[in-house]
A = this chain, B = another copy of it.
Amino acid sequence: MTVRTDAAGNLIGRYPGKVEGAAALATGSHIDTVPSGGSYDGVLGVLAGIEVVRSLKETHMHLNHPIEVIVFTDEESSMIGGQGMAGTVLLNAPERYQPKIGGDIQMHLESIGGSWDELATAKRTRKQVAAFVELHVEQGSVLERSGKEIGVVQGVVGMQRKAITITGQANHAGTTPMDMRHDALVAAAQVILAVRDMALCMPSQPVATVGYLTVAPNAVNIVPGQVELSVDMRDLSNDCLEMMCDRLERILKTIAIATNTQIELTPILCVAPTPAVSQMQAAIATVCDQFGYSYCHLPSRAGHDAMEMGRFTDMGMIFVPSQQGLSHSGEEYTSPEQCTQGANVLLHTLFRLDRAYPC
């Protein structure tokens, strides 16, 4: 491969194709990790991409399209690598990308051969990259639990994140009769269960979580006066996400009336879902059939480089199982056989894409 680093610090290996001027078929992932993370998250997709090219080279084989193996910059935190390619970096707000380890993003980009000032040059188009397919560990336990070897990713879910403040009236837990309370925590309990029930009754199987909650004054003998909590909702369908947002607003109004509290909702984050194109899903599934690998379709409920790539070109993802669903942990594990199956599916999916996409 010829190798270059773009302005976003992405390391791009390119293995030439047979057809002059054809758009690339790209694969890859990231090699950065969360603190105390495992050895598979990201790395598997990079090594498998290199292995794919090595296999082609060993058999003196070239596809019609060039193959690119991309090592994306900082997937775990800023996603600046993928965003650089998609042209979605907030160029006027470098402070949004400041690393927690100190120093500024400009300095860190330069240290790996990138350049904040030239970030716009990292942007790619569909004419340059016809499709992107990423192999990644599932980071969940759907595959393991259902006994499937390969996950055909339907897309990367979108996210709606809200902050909710419930204001009641702090009062003496002894002297305030039950029917005279404005208990913010009782209201919060109803919100928590409503959020869960809402997700459970949607046909698309979204997830919805209250992960953060604080109580004030938070004393054994005081009726809670205020609760702050977060709601994080994710689904592949934007319609479902919007329906959940609407329903949440209506439920909060009902709970506020029922509990004599005031409830305030603030949107925090809104990320649109990135679907995997059906052609890509079909290619991956067909390869699994060809090899006799069991598989199922599932959404990716974590963010990935493919999410950013999907903003400007066709995207697909291949998942292999994570033992016990563990990830972002030193105990992360996928067996060598499972990694091999994933790399095989990646190689043969690229063969199919090479035939499917015109040069």
Residue numbers of A with Cβ under 8 A of B are 138-142, 145, 157, 159, 161, 171-178, 180, 183, 185-186, 188-190, 192-193, 196, 199-200, 205, 207-215, 218-224, 230, 232, 234, 268, 300-303, 325, 327-328
Contact = CB atoms under 8 A, between A and B. Distances in A.
A303 B173 CA distance: 12
A309 to B, nearest CB: 19
A178 B192 contact: no
17 contacts: A139-B175, A140-B176, A141-B176, A175-B302, A178-B200, A178-B207, A186-B193, A186-B196, A189-B189, A189-B190, A209-B222, A210-B224, A211-B215, A211-B222, A212-B219, A212-B220, A213-B215
Q: Copies per complex?
A: 2
Given A172-B328, A212-B218, A212-B219, 14 more contacts: A140-B177, A171-B325, A173-B209, A173-B232, A174-B207, A174-B301, A174-B303, A177-B205, A178-B205, A185-B211, A211-B220, A212-B215, A213-B215, A213-B218
Nearest to A156: B174
A212 B199 CA distance: 27
Contacts of A222: 209, 211
A322 B139 CA distance: 58
Contacts of A268: 220
B205 A183 contact: no
A182 B183 CA distance: 26
B232 A209 contact: no
Most buried by B among A140, A188, A192, A209: A209
A136 to B, nearest CB: 11
B139 A157 contact: no
A47 B142 CA distance: 72
